[in-house]
Structure 1
């Protein structure tokens, strides 16, 4: 007797991966990755092999999103959700303690940035000690001098100085928020094995170029030069790899592939 294809009974049960991604605000690739690692596996598949998510699957995804927002890594989230003996309260207490510490550090940084902006507005040059206080112990005060020595005489530096001079505190807060969100998405994409040259990777590269263009008109060739600098200079490599292992070289490759897709030969790109 001929069998009929799988026909779910409710609208939620008919959620394919594309519809679910749009509903919960994550990428299709992320849902595929969660399926691969056993974090959230769809309860059903159609005869054609398409993933189909149930009410229970959607509820689990929302729990994953809550834990991820709290800062849990995916392995710990899977443990909490799957292990009946997992001490959820203990996990949450530890996470709360880490969040309180992070809030305290961020409040200190906000105060330091406010002092830096006030000093900059009055033309006072920050001492090396003040730079370390603002940017943290990983900050090398020599970077500021290196940046001015490298770019101080070009048109882009002039653009940066002119635009920075007209920014309010709220403008800087928006820029900082955008940067933090981008870094988080960059780490998530690398973790989900997004391939350089893919549409998702190219979109990230264009977001980065748009962020740079807030400060100066950043071409694809200039962005390639920045990518080379990230990969070749230890300070930048340490910064990106601290966000996620191997992130620097992967981001470098993402920038190169996007530039090539936009007609720029990354091997011959120059600061123009």
Structure 2
């Protein structure tokens, strides 16, 4: 048996004190105690009631730390890991995809900063397209990471890929227009909420601006009132989408949904 395999088998058989596992994992002992209290990574108890961590706890802690790295809340991590259908191999494959997305985003931003510095130091000037390319790619990658699965399930691979390609090909002026549309949507939405009527002038203006914003990103010719109404239902049902509009004002997601429903009726 190789020395490496022998060492691995030995590690799989050993247990760790909280201090030993903290040193091994990079966690603090306080964090391990907190995870124990939450039932997230429960330590075993010896005859002296001291905490010990065996192979199962080490593996579970690794999963917890990987999920924390991609900012999954502790309550959601516990629910995932406690699910009888949880597949550790599939989870690790997902972590790997997320980390590769992050690496690509960071690499793109690093390249953009390096090119900008080179320009400032007398190198070849960057085109306007180059200046914004990394930021657009970063946004595309973030959207894929957060919403890609739902979007592809609901509207299909072709629609998702076409939308990404449309965003990547935007000029600076086109991108600026989408940002201005977002500002106007927020403004009209707040005015509509103050008036209190989803079918009123400001609310309907917000709904039409929202249509224009969607058409800037959706594949040409794919907009329909049915798809528009279906999307805003998702804004209310999915907390990730809802949070964007709730940042404008509490209840904004529901008000926009009602305004769009009236607009599409």
TM normalised by structure 1 equals 0.42
Larger Rg belongs to? 2
